[in-house]
Each structure stands twice: as C-alpha cells, then as structure tokens.
C-alpha cells in the first residue's frame, strides 16, 4: 500500500457504488480508502493521517451519513476533514440543513457525474498539497529558529564572558566566573583552566589546574591538581605541549583521554590552547557526559572564548605587574616628598635664623657705632691731632672704618625691613639720568683710580618716574659699585636706558635701565642666588675689604637690598651673564625695570 499518497475516504454500504466512485478518481495521485459502514469509516479516520476528503453516502443502514459526519468531527485529527455528501435522488431524502450542521462542505446527488466529482475532489487535493507545503516550511522555520536561539545563547555567553573579561581585573575571580558561565550556559559537566607552571624548569614542566568547575554534587575539583607536561596520556598535557586544540567526541575510545575517578562518566572532551602570539599559557578544558557533545558551532564559539581568555589572563598579569610597580613608585615618591619637606623646613629655619641674626646684630651695633662715629669726628676736629700727621692718618682710618660699618649696618636694617615688609618709600618725581650723574661724580675717584670708563646711553630720553630718590640711589650705587668691583682695571661700564612705554599696549608703563660691565661675569647657576642675603661668590676669606677694589668683598647684602627696593616700587631686577671667567671677561648685565607710577599694591 502506498502510504504517503493523500487519501480519500469513500463510505457507502453498496460495494458497486464505492468502486464507481474510486474509479472516477483513478486519474488522481490519491489513495482511496473504502468503508461499508460508519464504524469501518471511523476506524480508517483514526488510523490514516493523510486523508484529505471524505465522500459519505447519506443513507446507510445503521449509522447514517449525518451521524458519521458528526462522529468524524469529534476525532481530533479529523476535525477539519472536508466532507462531501452523496445523496439519493429522491428529494426528501437529502436534508441540506442537517448536512451543513454536521460539518459538510458540499454535496452531490446520485447519479454522480464522474467529471463533477473529479473536479470537486481535485480542489480539496490542491488545498491538501498546499497545506502540506506550508507545514514543511513551518517545520523548517522552527528548526532555523531553534538553531538561531542556540547560537544566540552561545553568543550571549561569549559576550557576557568578554564583558567580564574586561571588567574584572583579578585573574582568579575572572577565571572562576568565566568557567561557571561556560559550564552553566552550555550545560557541560566540567570546565577548567590549566596553566603551564612558569617556575618549573624545562625538565619537570607541569600543567596546573588554575580554576575549575564541576557541576553539583562535586562543585570544586581537587586544588592544585597537576599533570606533567610530557604525560603521554592526557589531552590537557598534549594541548599545552603542542599549542593546538584537541576534540574527542568519543572520549572513552580515545587513547589520549585520561579518565579521572571524580568524573567517571565523561564521554566527550574539548581542549583549546590558551596562547597570546607565540606564548603558550595553558589550556581551556571542557568535558561532557554526553557523547558528541561538541558541534562545529560550539568549537568555533569556544575557540573565540579561549583566545579572549588568554588575552585577559595576559592583561591581568600585566595589570598586576603595573600595580606592583606603581605601589613601589608611590612609596618612593612619598619618601622623597618627606625628605624634601624636611629639607625645606630646615632651610626655612636657617633663613629665619639669618633674619633673626641680622635683626639682633644690626640693632646691637647701631648704638656703639654712633658713639664711635661721633667720637672719631671729635678727634678729627681736635687741633692737637690735626697738627700731628701720623695721628691724623690714624683717626682718618677710624672715621672711614666707622663709616663703612655704618653702611653695612644700614644695609642690614634695610634687609630686616624688606623681610618684614616694612620698607617705606618716600616717592617723588625724579629723572634716572640725573640720579646716575650724581653717582658718577660720587664714584669718580674710584673710576679714575681703576681707570674704568663709565658711559651712558639713552638715559636723557627716559621719561621721569615716580620713585623714592634715596632708595633708588642705593640701588644704582650698588649696581655701579659692583660693576667697578668685578671689572679689572682699565675696563668699561655702560648704563643704558630704554623707554618701554611704546611696547605697552595698555596698563602700566615701564622703563628699563641696564648696567653692563666688562668684568669677570657670573656663573649661570649663581644668577638668581646672588640676590639672596649673604650670598657671595668665590672664597669669602680672600675678599679684600676695599669698597671699590677689584673683587673687593662685601657682606653679600647689596643685591638683596636692591631687589627689595625695586620690587617695592613694583619693578623687577635680574642679572644676565655668559658665565664667570676672569681671563675672558664675559661681563655682566643687570636689568632694572621700573614703572612710571608706583602701583598702589606695591606701596
């Protein structure tokens, strides 16, 4: 019997009628199922799934056509089977309402025309074919959907694992989480990560279980389980050794597969190498109790995961390394900062001591100095001493010494005022040109003695400025005296003036005065330090005491006072020099920039 052909159910109590109907349909690719009674027909309906139409004789002994149609409707798989009634020709024998009520879709009157029957049955056959096609498509779709949702699950797990890989930097936490994800989502029995132990030598290299997960009831594998790297029977050792993956879908028959007591029912094992570039780190090992557990799609997805896990392990190791280095660096920085802070505190203390020393010394010296000064003046005007040339010279020495000491004490007092910000300026309008001219005549004897020429340039063109004449005289006296002191005999000093007011686009207006000499110059490292109190270059004990002698020493306060005064005016002072050289004589230049009007904040 041809079981796959669509079936027609033909029910009639007369065999000749049934045969006639079956014959009419012989040109169709259908299987006729004949029944002589309602009971026989119902048995066929229950048995044959491929019926697509039923032809029922209305009048039959026992169960008639209507009763049979109602019974067929109650068979679940035939509930929608199309039914065509074949009625007798006497009109009252056919009751169309009853026929439709019992589920008929059509009816034919006897004698049945074979052509009409054929065309009606063909319509239902076409419908049947269409429905079957549709069912096939639906089944295919369902299969595709199933595959897709499997793939989605795999990809979701992959994505989740990758997300964790990037968000967890603690290697152990990361590995444990990844393994439980792989095991739970894919439903494997065991997932483990094995690492090649770095500290072992080539000879006894081994592979150690770094993290692993069985399912329940044995959730945790033996800690630190190890396999020798050269073990002949172990898929894990082999993958770690060769760096290539190994799939055993029928593990029990695999000679390399090494069974363990803890997992006696393993049937499949997939082991993937963990590598970054050419460096082998270990292996990702997955085992299942189902044979053929790993499809091609599984292998593809798990290989991607293994690659990501390897990178994550490498990154986590690097991160741990960097963190260790950072911690080292941080403590180093803290230690150095503490050292610097304590050195700074020490320097502050020294500076305060210096200030205190200056305050005490200058105040203590002032009174006796005034006495010496007064008495030496009296001695000088004594007629007896005036007549004695030797005594006169001695008294002159005392007067000069007292005068020089007086200047030093005054400088110290100035420094004290600058340190305490109590330097008061008595400003008036003055011309720098005339100020320098006064100093030129005051220093003329020294310039003559040392054969040093002093030239000026542009000073006469400078605008007048608001400044304290005495204070500013101290500044330029200091600069010119230093220029004489640090320039050998026969040298030159030039004072240049420059009006900067043109360069100013707005705000305060300034002039610049530069005192240049052709002297020994200043070491670049000392250019700033010479402005700190008591700073002197060279050997202190070798300094001669002359005010304007070549390299004549001083207390190292002059430039400190000069800077204090210039800054009190709201200006700036700095030194420039190519270096210190007593033979080449590179010279020095001291720049003073002063505002035309002293800004209120400076006063």
Return residues touching ligand ADP (CB under 6 A): 478, 482-483, 486, 517, 519-520, 522, 530, 535-537, 553-560, 588
Q: Which residue's CB is nearer to ligand ADP, number 82 or number 519? A: 519
Nearest to 164 by CA among 297, 10, 305: 305
Instruction: Write down the least CB distance from residue 536 to ligand ADP, Å.
Output: 3
Q: Which residue's CB is nearer to ligand ADP, number 248 or number 518? A: 518
Q: Which residue's CB is nearer to ligand ADP, number 339 or number 523? A: 523
Instruction: Write down the least CB distance from residue 587 to ligand ADP, Å.
Output: 8
Instruction: Write down the least CB distance from residue 454 to ligand ADP, Å.
Output: 13
Q: Which residue's CB is nearer to ligand ADP, number 291 or number 555? A: 555
β-strand 7-11 against 51-57: which pairing, if any? parallel
Instruction: Write down the least CB distance from residue 478 to ligand ADP, Å.
Output: 6
Q: Which residue's CB is nearer to ligand ADP, number 258 or number 479? A: 479
Instruction: Write down the least CB distance from residue 554 to ligand ADP, Å.
Output: 2
Q: Which residue is nearest to ligand ADP (CB)?
A: 554
**CA distance linking residue 85 with residue 109, whole number of Å:** 8
N- to C-terminal Cα separation, the chain: 124
Q: Which residue's CB is nearer to ligand ADP, number 503 or number 582? A: 582
Q: Which residue's CB is nearer to ligand ADP, number 10 or number 475? A: 475
Q: Which residue's CB is nearer to ligand ADP, number 6 or number 555? A: 555
Return the bridge partners of 288, or none.
268
Q: Which residue's CB is nearer to ligand ADP, number 238 or number 516? A: 516
β-strand 453-457 against 492-499: which pairing, if any? parallel
**CA distance linking residue 571 with residue 599, whole number of Å:** 9
Cβ atoms of residues 258 and 234 within 8 Å: yes
Q: Which residue's CB is nearer to ligand ADP, number 35 or number 589? A: 589
Distances from the Cα of 327 to the Cαs of 316, 322, 507, in angstroms?
A: 16, 8, 50
Instruction: Write down the least CB distance from residue 482 to ligand ADP, Å.
Output: 3
**CA distance linking residue 382 with residue 378, whole number of Å:** 6
Cis peptide before 239 (omega within 30 of 0): no
Nearest to 531 by CA among 487, 570, 575, 495: 575
Residue 565's H or E segment, with its range, is helix 558-568
Q: Which residue's CB is nearer to ligand ADP, number 287 or number 577? A: 577
481 alpha-carbon distance from chain centroid: 60
SS3 category, 348: helix
Q: Which residue's CB is nearer to ligand ADP, number 128 or number 531? A: 531
Task: Output b/e per residue, 584-603; b: 16+ Cβ within 10 A.
Answer: eeebbbbbbbbbbebeeeee
Q: Which residue's CB is nearer to ligand ADP, number 34 or number 478? A: 478
Instruction: Write down the least CB distance from residue 351 to ligand ADP, Å.
Output: 16
Instruction: Write down the least CB distance from residue 590 to ligand ADP, Å.
Output: 7
Instruction: Write down the least CB distance from residue 337 to ligand ADP, Å.
Output: 32
Instruction: Write down the least CB distance from residue 412 to ligand ADP, Å.
Output: 12
Q: Which residue's CB is nearer to ligand ADP, number 469 or number 488? A: 488
Residue 383's H or E segment, with its range, is helix 383-387
CB 28: neighbour CB atoms within 10 A?
Answer: 15
Q: Which residue's CB is nearer to ligand ADP, number 346 or number 403? A: 403
**CA distance linking residue 162 with residue 159, whole number of Å:** 5
Cα dihedral 81, 86, 90, 93 sign: negative
**CA distance linking residue 357 with residue 416, whole number of Å:** 10
Task: Output b/e per residue, 322-338; b: 16+ Cβ within 10 A.
Answer: eeeeeeeeeeeeeeeee
The structure tokens listed for 254 are: 């695999």
**CA distance linking residue 116 with residue 228, whole number of Å:** 84
Instruction: Write down the least CB distance from residue 537 to ligand ADP, Å.
Output: 3
Q: Is 474 exposed, middle or buried (0-12, 13-18, 19+ CB in 10 A)?
A: buried
SS3 category, 393: helix
Instruction: Write down the least CB distance from residue 450 to ligand ADP, Å.
Output: 13
Instruction: Write down the least CB distance from residue 429 to ligand ADP, Å.
Output: 28
Instruction: Write down the least CB distance from residue 479 to ligand ADP, Å.
Output: 7
Cis peptide before 217 (omega within 30 of 0): yes
**CA distance linking residue 598 with residue 511, whole number of Å:** 12
**CA distance linking residue 599 with residue 465, whole number of Å:** 12
Residue in this structure with the two tokens 């049937």, named with its chain if needed: 267
Instruction: Write down the least CB distance from residue 357 to ligand ADP, Å.
Output: 17
């Amino acid at each position: 019997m041809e079981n796959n052909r669509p079936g027609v159910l033909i029910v009639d109590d007369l065999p000749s009628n049934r045969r006639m109907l079956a014959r009419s349909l012989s040109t169709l690719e259908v299987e006729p199922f004949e029944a002589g009674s309602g009971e026989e027909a119902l048995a066929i309906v229950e048995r044959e799934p491929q019926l697509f139409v039923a032809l029922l004789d209305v009048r039959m002994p026992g169960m008639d056509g209507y009763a049979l149609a109602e019974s067929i409707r109650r068979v679940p798989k035939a509930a929608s089977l199309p039914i065509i009634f074949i009625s007798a020709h006497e009109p009252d024998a056919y009751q169309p309402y009853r026929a439709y009520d019992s589920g008929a879709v059509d009816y034919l009157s006897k004698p049945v025309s074979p052509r009409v029957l054929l065309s009606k049955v063909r319509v239902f056959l076409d419908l049947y074919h269409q429905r079957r096609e549709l069912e096939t498509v639906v089944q295919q779709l369902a299969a595709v959907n199933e595959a897709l949702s499997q793939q989605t699950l795999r990809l979701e797990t992959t994505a989740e694992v990758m997300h964790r890989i990037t968000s967890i930097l603690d290697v152990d936490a990361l590995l444990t989480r990844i393994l439980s994800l792989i095991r739970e989502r894919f439903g494997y029995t065991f997932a483990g990560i094995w690492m090649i132990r770095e500290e072992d030598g080539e000879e006894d290299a081994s592979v150690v279980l770094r993290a692993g997960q069985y399912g329940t009831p044995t959730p945790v594998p033996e800690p630190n389980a190890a396999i020798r790297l050269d073990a002949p029977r172990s898929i894990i050792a082999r993958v770690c050794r060769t760096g290539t993956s190994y799939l055993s879908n029928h593990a029990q028959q695999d000679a390399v597969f090494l069974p363990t007591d803890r997992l006696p029912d393993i049937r499949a094992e997939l082991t993937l190498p963990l590598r970054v570039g050419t460096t082998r780190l270990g292996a990702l090992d997955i085992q299942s109790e189902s044979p053929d557990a790993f499809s091609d799609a599984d292998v593809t997805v798990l290989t991607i995961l293994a690659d990501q896990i390897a990178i994550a392990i490498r990154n986590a190791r690097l991160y741990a390394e960097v963190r260790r280095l950072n911690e080292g660096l941080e403590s180093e920085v803290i230690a150095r900062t503490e050292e610097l802070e304590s050195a700074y505190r020490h320097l502050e203390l020294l500076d305060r001591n210096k200030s205190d020393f200056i305050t005490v010394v200058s105040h203590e010296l002032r009174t006796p100095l005034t006495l010496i000064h007064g008495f030496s003046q009296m001695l000088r005007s004594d007629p007896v001493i005036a007549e004695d040339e030797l005594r006169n010279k001695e008294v002159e020495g005392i007067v000069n010494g007292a005068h020089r000491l007086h200047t030093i004490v005054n400088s110290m007092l100035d420094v004290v005022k600058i340190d305490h910000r109590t330097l008061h300026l008595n400003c008036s309008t003055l011309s720098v040109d005339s100020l320098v001219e006064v100093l030129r005549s005051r220093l003329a004897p020294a310039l003559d003695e040392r054969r040093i020429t002093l030239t000026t340039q542009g000073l006469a063109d400078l605008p007048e400025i608001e400044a304290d004449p005495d204070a500013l005289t101290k500044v330029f006296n200091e600069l010119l005296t230093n220029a004489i002191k640090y320039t050998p005999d026969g040298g030159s000093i030039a004072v240049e003036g420059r009006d900067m007011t043109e360069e100013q686009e707005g705000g305060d207006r300034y002039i610049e005065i530069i005192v240049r000499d052709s002297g020994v110059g200043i070491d670049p490292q000392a250019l700033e330090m010479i402005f700190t109190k008591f700073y002197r270059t060279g050997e202190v004990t070798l300094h001669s005491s002359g005010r304007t002698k070549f390299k004549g020493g001083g207390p190292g306060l002059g430039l400190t006072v000069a800077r204090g005064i210039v800054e009190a005016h709201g200006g700036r002072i700095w030194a420039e020099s190519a270096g210190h050289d007593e033979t080449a004589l590179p010279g020095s230049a001291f720049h003073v920039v002063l505002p035309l009007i002293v800004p209120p904040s400076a006063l």
